[in-house]
A = this chain, B = another copy of it.
Amino acid sequence: MIVVMSVSASEAEIEQVVSAIEAKSLKALMMPGGERVAIGIPSAIPPEIREGLAQELGALSGVDHVAHVSRPYKLVSREFHRADTTFEVRGVLFGGSRLHIMAGPCAVESYEQMSEAARAVKEAGATVLRGGAFKPRTSPYSFQGLQEEGLKILKQVGVDAGLVTISEVMQPDLVELVGSYVDILQIGARNMQNFPLLVEAGRSGLPVMLKRGPSATIDEFLLAAEYLLHHDNHQVLLCERGVHPLDRAYTRNTLDINAVPVLKEVSHLPVIVDPSHGAGVSRYVPALALAAVAAGADGLMIEMHPHPKAALSDGAQSLKPEQLQELMQRLRRLASVVGRDV
């Protein structure tokens, strides 16, 4: 529910609305606009009081009208926050006109591999270095990551290269540890509805990139993001990374390109696209990366490995350094005609 004040509403009238909301043990969220103020109620309103509350608030002095929110999510919605969210992470501004490219290997394997990767990422003009230390692997027999050792390497090479870093956290009791090494926490697709993890990442206040689950609907995705904002973390990036495909004969997933304009419309959060998982095959990554930017994405996450054939995981979908460099040049040309820069 959103209470929209009239243009001429006074401070006292606004205060009165806030008090009336809080008197019901609900939260009141100030939503300043151009000409007029609105007050949102980002809580679940018990159905039995909803109608009465709307009438009560609507009758208060200075209130223009009371609007019902059409979607199950609130804080992530443009209904509650009209302008694009922007936030800065060590000098990198997300959500603005500049596209940010996150690149690096699926997994941190060694200091040498990561420092070679960081150099390539930097030279290509990307701003964020990725690398997994705690790896969610479908099989217990696959490489499970270097864990804390990997985070140390990532931090070191990130600082040396002047790159922002991002890495995945898989369980609530490791949020603090991972957050002490990297700039952005990644919550992976398989953990999109790991609610204790969402709560802990929300409470941490650290920048978080939330990946959409492979069969999550848009509403389920945005409600997962709502957990983060609900625990007072507004530095959130939404990442589309492909949904369950019709078959896996050619690609591992189907990149849901529709999600880009839909998310940009209904939410104010920046939208990142991961064409590497969206395809699962490196030679299709450039086409999907370009498509994502043309569709309105605010950034990309791309797997790049200095030596894809030797990669301990996801080698098949990793670009080589020179392929990343070439893609960046194509992205720059594209950005120039869609009102962005890289």
Which of A's residues lie within 8 Å of B, judged by CB?
43-44, 72-74, 136-142, 170-173, 190-191, 193-197, 213-220, 223-224, 226-227, 230, 243-251, 253-258, 260-262, 265-266, 278-279, 283-284, 287-288, 290-296, 330, 333-334, 336-338
Contacts and interface: CB of A to CB of B under 8 A. Distances in A.
A218 to B, nearest CB: 5
B72 A223 contact: no
16 contacts: A72-B141, A137-B195, A139-B226, A140-B230, A191-B194, A217-B249, A243-B254, A247-B248, A250-B262, A255-B257, A261-B283, A287-B294, A287-B295, A290-B338, A291-B291, A291-B292
A290 B338 CA distance: 10
Contact of A257 (B288, B296, B334, B337): B288
Contacts of A224: 138
Question: Chain B CB within 10 Å — which of A140, A213, A253 has the most?
Answer: A140
Given A214-B215, A218-B250, A173 B173 contact: yes
The number of times this chain is found in the oligomer is: 4
A220 B172 contact: no
Nearest to A198: B140
Contact of A293 (B218, B247, B288, B294): B294
A71 to B, nearest CB: 9
Contacts of A223: 138-140
A249 B294 contact: no
A316 to B, nearest CB: 15
A175 to B, nearest CB: 11
Contacts of A254: 243, 254, 256, 258
A319 to B, nearest CB: 14
Contact of A337 (B72, B255, B283, B333): B333
A251 B137 CA distance: 25
A337 B217 CA distance: 34
A261 B283 CA distance: 9
A313 to B, nearest CB: 13
B249 A219 contact: yes
A288 B295 contact: yes
A250 B246 contact: no
Contacts of A219: 138, 247, 249
Contact of A246 (B243, B266, B278): B243
